[in-house]
Structure 1
Amino acid sequence: MKTISFSILFVLLIALWQCSENNITEPPPSGDVTSEGSIRVILIDSPSTLDSVVICVSRVEVHKTGSDTTGGSWSVINDSLRCFDLLLLQNGASAVLGDTSLSSGKYTQIRLIVEDNNYVVDNGIKYPLTIPGGTQTGIKLNHSFEIESGKLYELYLDFNVDKSIIITGNGQYKLKPTIRVVPVVISGSISGQVLPLGADPTIWTLVGTDTASTFTDLNGLFKLMALPEGTYDVHIIPADTLIYRDTTITNVNVIANQNTDIGLVTLEER
């Protein structure tokens, strides 16, 4: 009897072992696993003589490259309507346009879909701001970047309002965007203070063939942002050059992820 019981138990153990072997799930090949990183798109602005420039963005998308047989696809990184007064995004102020996870891979474009309720305020008067194709095709920015697994990719969009807004012959305001796209990881900033306070200067520097510029605040402080690592000449132009002399601070070194403070600059009277 004991011999029969042991025989039955042995057969059952063999059967269970075979079932467990057949039910083992092999991990998928590494190439079949979709890994994710993340992206954050940050909006900043250069100064303008206008009082306000308000743009309403309803969706932010990025385009991922496809294979040889597909044209790629768009991914939404923000689809909530937000309105921004661009002229408030200066001297270190910024706004996050989108912040989300993305599948890893190569991307080539950013697209901002805007609504039709944009406007400017010029000399205290509000005017509609037309953005051709903004609600359909959107504002497209060509910029190639790669999302890596487990890593955050941050990006500055530096809006140059004065270069972007065109006033037509019949008094309409139209936006043809001029936007610098700069990865945060390769950029730094330049800050300082300009006196006397009544000089109200514009501070600018060349960035390749483009410019980065800002005004001083009520305390004479300024900050130029989204500057790729390198050496810059900082030009300080007073509002009234008949009263104060302009000046240039040369060879200002910018290091990625750091701020370079040029200290106090006092403009000379004429």
Structure 2
Amino acid sequence: MNSSLKLFTVAALAAGVTACGGSSDSGETGTVSFGITDAPATEFSNVTVAFTEIQLKPADGDWITFPLDGFETVNMLDLQGGVTEPLITDEEVLAGNYTQLRLIVDTDNSFVKLKSTGDTEYSLAVPSGEQSGLKLQGEFIVAADTSTDFTIDFDAQRAIVNPAGEALADYMLRPALRLVNNLDVGSIAGTVNASTVIATECADVATYSGMVYVYGEPGATPDDLGSENEPLVAVPVSDEDDPGTYTYKAAFLTEGTYTVSYSCSADDNEIDEDLTFVGPQDVTVEADTETTASFE
């Protein structure tokens, strides 16, 4: 596998996804490509998940398996802000409806590193990861005589948990995946004002400058990771690219209206907490467009 990273430009993707999906009984085929991206995580410096297979389940057929190679060398945290890594490219499959997707994981070659402990590697296990893998429920369509491109959004911030008591590994990986059609996605990006928001909300901006939370509907009441109303995605705010200017980007969002809000409260993804949120606002996302939403 070519491990070089690529930035998806949606305008360059194949058209025609609205064509009839067909049926696997008809024998018609289409081609599919799947890439993977990551919503950033705040405490980790490396998240390596060694994917070995991607499996697709037709609505009226048997599982289709494609072997993968090279993911034991890919740090998922490099795949942020619209950057992806290809899983499979232009593979021919039967056209029609598909109901499930699975990513099979080699746990022996999967690990995480923490920002606080340097190069120390911590083991990462997936319950049944090498048998049934990470599962993504939900239908998608492969159109006949058409190339269809999808992206799997792997959310390390929500997926990786620190298990209590005895466990198979130092950290556990639970399913936290979104599947999107690349023709339907845009992004939200913006700044968080350093002098009025960051300085007021963050206890120690040198170590943590907060996250922007994105909810899948307008008018949502912001809540934390692990709550009943947890966000679709939460992305860190950082001034790494331009010191003193705090920015964020939430990519691969399907067309629609979202609620975005900012918090600099520490958020444990396993506990429902009372966080302080700032400036909730509704934002409309259009395909192949980056919409600006800032917190002043």
Say yes or no: TM over 0.5. yes
Letter in 2 for 1:43: I
Structure 1 residue aligned with 2:139: 144
State the Cα distance separating 1:184 from its structure 2 match: 2.5
Unpaired runs of at least 5, structure 1: 1-30, 67-71
- TM norm structure 2: 0.67
- Residue 203 of structure 1 pairs with residue 194 of structure 2: no
Q: Is the CA contact 2:186–2:251 (under 8 Å) kept in the aligned structure 1? A: yes
Whole-Å separation in 1 of the counterparts to 2:88 and 2:121: 28
**Cα shift readout 1:40-63 (whole Å, capped 9, x = no counterpart):** 222222232222211001111211
1:101-120 equivalent positions in 2, closer than 5 A: 101-116=92-107, 117-120=109-112
Q: Is the CA contact 2:48–2:71 (under 8 Å) kept in the aligned structure 1? A: no
Structure 2 residue aligned with 1:16: none
**Cα shift readout 1:113-169 (whole Å, capped 9, x = no counterpart):** 111211111222311111111112222211211211222222232222232222222
Structure 1 residue aligned with 2:127: 132
Letter in 2 for 1:76: T
Whole-Å separation in 2 of the counterparts to 1:51 and 1:109: 31
- Residue 62 of structure 1 pairs with residue 67 of structure 2: no
Structure 1 residue aligned with 2:65: 76
Structure 2 residue aligned with 1:252: 283
1:24-43 equivalent positions in 2, closer than 5 A: 34-43=27-36
Whole-Å separation in 2 of the counterparts to 1:207 and 1:201: 20
Secondary structure of 1:94 counterpart: strand
Distance 1:144 1:261, change over 3 A: same
Q: Is the CA contact 1:59–1:81 (under 8 Å) kept in the aligned structure 2? A: no
Structure 2 residue aligned with 1:183: 181
Letter in 1 for 2:161: I
2:87 aligned residue (84, 91, 97): 97
Secondary structure of 1:51 counterpart: strand
Whole-Å separation in 2 of the counterparts to 1:146 and 1:253: 25
Structure 2 residue aligned with 1:11: none
Q: Is the CA contact 1:200–1:239 (under 8 Å) kept in the aligned structure 2? A: no
State the Cα distance separating 1:78 from its structure 2 match: 4.3
Letter in 1 for 2:214: T
Secondary structure of 2:183 counterpart: helix
- TM norm structure 1: 0.73
1:223 aligned residue (249, 260, 263): 249
Higher RCO (Cα < 8 Å, 6 or more apart): 2
115-124 or 162-171: bigger deviation: 162-171
Secondary structure of 2:83 counterpart: coil
Unpaired runs of at least 5, structure 2: 1-23, 199-204, 218-228, 267-275
Larger strand share, 1 or 2: 1
The structure that has the greater radius of gyration is 1
Q: Is the CA contact 1:46–1:213 (under 8 Å) kept in the aligned structure 2? A: yes
**Cα shift readout 1:159-187 (whole Å, capped 9, x = no counterpart):** 22232222222472111122222333333
1:139-178 equivalent positions in 2, closer than 5 A: 139-168=134-163, 169-170=165-166, 172-178=170-176
